Chains A and B, each alone.
Chain A
Amino acid sequence: MIKVVNMEKSYENQLVLKGVNFTVQKGSIYGLLGSNGAGKTTLLKTVSGILTQDKGHVFIDDSPLFEQVQIKDRVVFIPDTLYFFPQYTIRQTAQFYKNIYSCWDESRFLKLNEVFEIDIDKKIHKFSKGMQRQVAFWLAMSAMPKILVLDEPLDGLDPVMRKKVKNLIVQDVAEREMTVLISSHNLREVEDICDHIGILHKGTIILEKELDDLKSDVHKVQVAFKKDVPSNLFEDLNVLYKEERGSVLLCIVRGNNTDIMSHFKTFEPDIFDMLPLTLEEIFIYEMGDAGYAIKNILV
C-alpha cells in the first residue's frame, strides 16, 4: 500500500507539489495522469524514496520510506529516462541488482529471457531505447517488488512488447498482490490495466476515482430536435459541458445512465445518442473544469 499525506515539494523556490493526498491499495494498479509539468515525475520520485518531501508524509505499508533500506528493498522504480552503468552487460547489471534486492529471483530472471529475447551478455548502452526499456522491465520484474513505480513505462515499446509487459504486470498483481503506480499522459495505454485513476494538475490531485465508476458516471449525449429545443431540457441535470453543433446539441452529463436516458426521452428528441466517455474525454473535460481547456487557436 502506498499512502501520501499532505505532501509538499519544491525545487529552489518553485512549489511543485502543493499538498498531495492519495492512497494506492495493495494489489491495485493506480494510473496517475496529469498535464505536462503537473508534477507527476516529482511525485513518483518522492513516492519511491529518491527525493524527500518538504512537508507531509509518504508511507509504504504504514512506514516512512526515505532512506529506509528494508522498505526500499521491496520498491522498484523505473524512471522515464533510464540509467544503466556504462559498459555493463545485462548479466553484470543483474548481478548488481541481486546484491541490492534481497528478493531477487534468479530463476525468474532466466525465465524472462524467453519473453524479452535479448542477448544477456551484451552491453546495455549499446541497445536501442526500446530495448533498454525492456531490460529495465526485465530487471524490475526479477527483483520481485511489492511496490512497482513506473514513470511513462510504455514509451518506446512496440505494441507486441507493450502487451507482453502489461501481461507480466497483471500476472504479478494477480499472483502476489503487487501494488503498481503508473504515470502516463498516454491515456489509452493505461486504460485497460488501471483500476484507479488520479488526475494531477498544477501540483494537486483534482480527481481520484475508480476507473469503472468514472466511466459509468459521465456520459456524452447527442440530441437533436426538429422543433425548437425545449427550454427546460437541462433542468435537474448535472451538465458539465454543452455545445451546439448546427442543429445537434452535444453535452456531457454526469449521472446515472438510465436516469439521463429517461430524462431526455420525455422530450421526445428526433435524434438521441448516448455514449460513455473515453478516459481521454474525461481527462479533457475535467481539465477544462480546472481551467486547462483546449483552446482552438487558429494559426
Chain B
Amino acid sequence: MFDLDVRSRKPIYEQLVEKLKELIMNDVLKVDDQLPSVRTLAQQLTINPNTIQKAYRELETQGYIYSLKGKGSFVNATVKSVNIEKLEKVKKELVRLLTEAMYLGVSSQELERLIADIESSLGGGRSND
C-alpha cells in the first residue's frame, strides 16, 4: 500500500501516522473504509506490530479512525479537523516559501500579482474574503 523509510531519522510510528493521515485526507481511504490489519501491515512492511498498534492508537485519539472490537479499524468522518490541519500545513509551507522569495528579492507587489494571476486562473468566481 505504501512504503516507509526505515532508515529515516523519523520514528517509524510517526511516519506511519503521517502516511495514513495523508491517505485519509486525500480520500484514498474513504470514510468507513477498513484499514489493513496490524498483522497484514506488519508483514507487508516488515516492521514491528507493536509500532503499528501504537500508530493506530494515536490515529484513534486524534479522531481519524475508529476501531470496532474484533473487526478492525475504520476511517472516521472527520473532514473538518482534517482540513484545518491541512490548511495549517499549507500556510506554514507558504510562509517558508514567501520568506525565501523575499530574500531572493521578489517584491510584495510581484507576489500580489502572482496571487491575482492564480486567482483568475482558478476561475475567479470566488469572493475575496
Would B6 and A192 count as touching, CB distance under 8 A? yes
B82 sits at the interface (CB 8 A): no
Would A170 and B11 count as touching, CB distance under 8 A? no
Would A166 and B46 count as touching, CB distance under 8 A? yes
Which secondary structure dominates chain B's binding surface?
Answer: helix
Would B12 and A174 count as touching, CB distance under 8 A? no
In the complex, per-residue mask of A252-284: 1 if CB is within 8 Å of any chain B CB, else 0: 000000000000000000000001111000000
* Cα-based distance from A195 to B42 in the complex (angstroms): 13
B10 sits at the interface (CB 8 A): yes
Would B38 and A276 count as touching, CB distance under 8 A? no
Would B14 and A216 count as touching, CB distance under 8 A? yes
**A211-B11, A215-B10 are known contacts. Are A170 and B46 too (CB-CB below 8 A)?**
yes
In the complex, per-residue mask of B29-52: 1 if CB is within 8 Å of any chain A CB, else 0: 000000000110011001111110
**A191-B6, A192-B12, A211-B11 are known contacts. Are A174 and B39 too (CB-CB below 8 A)?**
yes
Would B9 and A193 count as touching, CB distance under 8 A? no
* Cα-based distance from A216 to B11 in the complex (angstroms): 7
B91 sits at the interface (CB 8 A): no
Would A215 and B42 count as touching, CB distance under 8 A? no
Chain B residues near A170 (CB, 8 Å)? Answer: 42-43, 46-49
Would A278 and B9 count as touching, CB distance under 8 A? yes
Would A193 and B48 count as touching, CB distance under 8 A? yes
Would A163 and B46 count as touching, CB distance under 8 A? yes
* Cα-based distance from A170 to B12 in the complex (angstroms): 15
Give the size of the chain A interface in residues (CB under 8 angstroms): 25
* Cα-based distance from A170 to B45 in the complex (angstroms): 10
Closest to B13 in A: A212
Chain A residues near B6 (CB, 8 Å)? Answer: 191-192
* Cα-based distance from A29 to B11 in the complex (angstroms): 16
Closest to A25 in B: B50
Total cross-chain contacts (CB, 8 A): 62
Chain B residues near A278 (CB, 8 Å)? Answer: 7, 9
Chain A residues near B47 (CB, 8 Å)? Answer: 170, 192-193
B54 sits at the interface (CB 8 A): yes
In the complex, per-residue mask of A212-248: 1 if CB is within 8 Å of any chain B CB, else 0: 1001100000000000000000000000000000000
Closest to A165 in B: B46
Would B38 and A174 count as touching, CB distance under 8 A? yes
Would A276 and B48 count as touching, CB distance under 8 A? no
Would B46 and A192 count as touching, CB distance under 8 A? yes
A27 sits at the interface (CB 8 A): yes
Chain B residues near A53 (CB, 8 Å)? Answer: none
Closest to B38 in A: A174
* Cα-based distance from A173 to B47 in the complex (angstroms): 10
A188 sits at the interface (CB 8 A): yes
**A166-B46, A170-B46 are known contacts. Are A215 and B39 too (CB-CB below 8 A)?**
no
Q: Would you list 26 pairs from A and B whose C-beta atoms are within 8 A, ordered by A residue? A: A27-B50, A29-B50, A163-B46, A167-B43, A170-B43, A170-B46, A170-B48, A171-B43, A173-B42, A173-B50, A174-B42, A188-B7, A192-B12, A192-B46, A192-B47, A192-B48, A193-B46, A193-B48, A194-B48, A212-B13, A212-B51, A212-B54, A215-B10, A216-B11, A216-B14, A276-B9
Top-4 shortest CB links A-B:
A192-B6, A174-B49, A212-B11, A276-B9
Footprint of A on B, CB under 8 Å?
Answer: 6-7, 9-14, 38-39, 42-43, 46-51, 54
